Amino acid sequence: MRELRDGSHGIVTLALVGTLASTSLTERLRRFRAAHQGVDLRIRTALSVEVSALVLRGDAALGLRYSADPHPGLVCSMVDQEVLVPVCSARHRLAGARHVQPEELAGERWVAFPRSMSGTGEPYAAAIQRQLAAAGIPAPEIVPIDSLTAQKRMVEAEFGLALLPESSVREELDAGSLCVLHVRALRVTVPVALIQRRGAFQSGAARALARELSADRLA
């Protein structure tokens, strides 16, 4: 019991949205494991609504999801802001432009995560249509693709543009296969929330992991 309370041993499960693994979260998890070698850290990936369900059922001690969950059985704290940026292929006509006006994007096809009428999609899945409309680009052609990796590969192949988490495209930007479109109206931030079940017992390991995830920004 003493080892469970002080965080030196035990099992702790973290549920998180898979795209967040592209942030500095992975380095934080590495540091946590190095400092708590007796702890069995287990990771489960899911959509935001599924992350909440895992925490509510007690299948995960902690969760990281996009946007707060208002469920009364959860305690949420904002630990980061995920930046979404519009990207294009390095061969796109606007690649490398210092400034892009929204009207220059008229007629462009976009790839995005599918929107779900049941609410099981990611909170930012609707951001692209909302932001494009706000920028004066109504009714764009949007192709639903449910894989982040597939979206990036399709954009690289000039199949369309995408609004993606900035942290998830760093490798492609560094490699020069993708370019950020500098459109001020299309730069969006989505909050990242750390969640836990209200009133649930938290082991020392879970509390230590929560402190590590809350200490600074993830991205």
Give yes or no on whether 2-80+191-214 and 82-190 have one common fold. yes
Q: What is the pTM for the complete model shown?
A: 0.79
Task: Residue 131: count other Cβ atoms within 10 Å of its Cβ.
Answer: 20
pLDDT of residue 5: 57
CATH architecture label of 82-190: 3-Layer(aba) Sandwich (3.40)
- Spell out the per-residue pLDDT of the chain, length 219, in tens: 555 555 567 899 999 998 887 667 888 889 899 998 889 999 999 889 999 999 999 999 999 998 899 999 999 999 988 888 999 999 999 999 999 998 899 899 999 888 655 555 676 666 677 788 888 887 788 898 988 899 999 999 999 999 988 888 989 999 999 999 999 888 788 889 999 999 999 989 999 999 999 876 665
Per 3-state DSSP, the chain is made up of helix, strand and coil in percentages (nearest 5) of 35, 30, 35
pLDDT of residue 57: 96
pLDDT of residue 23: 67
Q: Which residue has the tokens 């639903």?
A: 144
> What are the sequence ranges of the domains in the chain?
2-80+191-214, 82-190
34: nearest Cα among 204, 167, 202, 209: 209
Instruction: Give bridge partners of residue 117 from the DSSP assignment.
Output: none
| Reported CATH class of domain 2-80+191-214 | alpha beta
Instruction: Give bridge partners of residue 194 from the DSSP assignment.
Output: 64, 77
pLDDT of residue 120: 56
